[in-house]
Amino acid sequence: MQEGSVGFFCLDLSDLLRLERGNQRERDRERAQARAGGKAKQPKGDGLTPEQRRERDAKALQEKAARKAAQSAGGNNAGGGGVKR
């Protein structure tokens, strides 16, 4: 700046809106934390290690597949793909 000149800061409307919305993400985080009661993410409550959980889930999927195979082998055709007379 030169001596004797007066400098001032001028904002247009878009700059004002941008400044006003600048901390929206931070405010949203605070609101979300307040809604959650300020509690952090809770660990799984089943007391299992990840390996035990994988084994349990794999066993459940195998049992489900076996039930489905037994149902389809038993002639219980829920698809309705047969020929009507």
pLDDT in tens, the chain (85 residues): 555 556 566 666 666 666 666 788 888 888 988 888 766 666 667 888 999 999 999 999 999 999 999 999 886 655 555 556 5
Q: Residue 81: name the closest of 59, 72, 46, 68 by CA.
A: 72
Q: What is the pTM of this model?
A: 0.38
CA 43 to chain centre: 16
**Contact at 8 Å (CB) between 50 and 58?**
no
pLDDT of residue 36: 82
Query: What is the rounded CA–CA span in Å between residue 50 and residue 44?
Result: 10
Which residues have a Cβ under 8 Å from the Cβ of 48 and sit 6 or more positions away? 56
Task: Provide the residue ranges of all domains of the chain, joining segments of one domain with +.
Answer: 13-36+48-72
Report pLDDT for 45.
Answer: 75
